[in-house]
Amino acid sequence: MSGQRVDVKVVMLGKESVGKTSLVERYVHHRFLQGPYQNTIGAAFVAKTMYVEGRSLTLGIWDTAGSERYEAMSRIYYRGAKAAIVCYDLTDASSFERVKFWVNELQNFEEHCRIYICGTKSDLLENDKSLRQVDFHDVQDYAEEIKAHVCETSSKTGQSVDELFQKVAEDYVNFNSMQGPTEAKGVDLNQKQNSTLYSCCHH
């Protein structure tokens, strides 16, 4: 539902077809839709209210397409995001290379955005470990370096999906209560305006 207050902006990033839409679908609608791949066009927004430590919190989730076509415009989707879930497909090494691209973007433009690196489709590895193309420890080393959280999920079975979004919400609450006053003053647009005003008067 729109028009409602959104507390936390969360953005899904990653190469096409790694499973971003499925992850949101599983989390929001508790289902997994099989069938031919339907790539996301532009981006889709969905709001979901959850409870963290007895407090209700609304996540505004932006599911992006991940296509190169609108790469230049992708900033509108992640601007101001408090959390980014950057996905790669555990069975596709090239998708992990794209993770690094998005992490760079975020580090350059959204330094306050917390990063969650998510390996998807873990169910595919259950029967056949040889399908894994991205080593867990490599990801962990990388995540440590960039101070990101890591997880492996399956939208098909639901494994670790709720936990991931729960973690996003909890981190926000904890980070927020720690930051408290600074966060409240967050909008520095006004500040700037005031100071300009001040300098104007001064002259």
Partner 1 sequence: MSQSEATISTGTLSLPENQDSQRSASPAPTLIQGTEPGASQDEAMFVHAQSYEDLTGEEEGAVPGSPGVEGAVESSSMEQISEDFSKLSTKLSSSDQETQNSEVRTDLGRRESIRSTGQEENEEGGLRALEAWYNHQKHVFVLSEAGKPIYSRYHSEEALSSISGVMMALVSFLETEKNAIRSIHADAYKVVFVRRSPLVLVSVSHTRQSEQEIAQELLYVYYQILSLLTGTQLHHLFQQRPSYDLRRLLSGSERITDSLLDLMDIDPSFLLGAVRCLPIVSGARDASSSCLQQAKAKSLVFSILMSRNQLISLVRRKEHYLHHIDLHLLFNLVTSSSSFKEGEAWTPVCLPKFNSSGFFHAHISYLSHDPELCLLLISTDREDFFTVSDCKRRIVERMEKRGCWGSLREALRSPFYSVAQVDIPELRHFLYKSKSSGLFTCPAMDVPYDTDEERRRLLALYQYLHSKAHCSSHHLTTIYHMGTNENILTWVTDAFELYVCFSPLATKSIATTGVSRLLRWIRKEEDRLFILSSPTY
Q: At its nearest, how many Å lie between partner 1 and the CB of residue 145? A: 29
**Cβ nearer to partner 1, comparing 65 with 118:** 65
Q: How many CB atoms lie within 10 A of CB 113?
A: 19
Q: Write the binding mask 20 to 49 for ligand GDP: x where contact by CB under 6 A, - elsewhere.
A: xxx-----------x--x-xx---------
Q: How far is the CB of 180 from partner 1 (least distance, A)?
A: 25
Site string for ligand GDP, 114-133 (x = CB under 6 A): ------xx-xx---------
- What residues contact residue 38 under an 8 Å CB cut-off, 6+ apart? 21
- φ, ψ for residue 116 (rounded to 5)? -120, 120
- Say which DSSP state 41 is in: -
**Buried-state track 7-22, b at ≥16 Cβ within 10 A, e below 16:** bbbbbbbbbebbbbbb
Q: For tokens 């966060």, what's the residue?
A: 183
Contact string 79-98 vs ligand GDP (x = CB under 6 A)? --------------------
Query: Token pair for residue 145?
Result: 């370096």
Window contacting partner 1 (CB under 8 A); options: 67-75, 104-112, 135-143, 163-171: 67-75
Q: What residues between 6 and 35 interact with Mg ion by CB under 5 A?
A: 20-21
Window 11-30: residues binding partner 1 (CB under 8 A): 16, 21, 25, 28-29
Q: Which of residues 145-184 bind ligand GDP (CB under 6 A)?
A: 154-156
Residue with Cβ nearer partner 1 (47 or 125): 47
Nearer to Mg ion among residue 21 and residue 95 (C-beta): 21
Question: From the list 6, 28, 40, 58, which residue makes contact with Mg ion (rule: CB under 5 A)?
Answer: 40
Contact 111, 146 (CB under 8 A): no
User: Least distance in Å: CB of 47 to partner 1?
Assistant: 8
Q: Return the SS3 of 160.
A: coil
Between CA 84 and CA 200 the distance in angstroms is: 39
Give CA 187 to chain center in angstroms.
Answer: 21
**From the CB of 148, what's the least distance to partner 1, in Å?**
26
- Phi, psi for residue 56 in degrees, rounded to 5: -85, 140
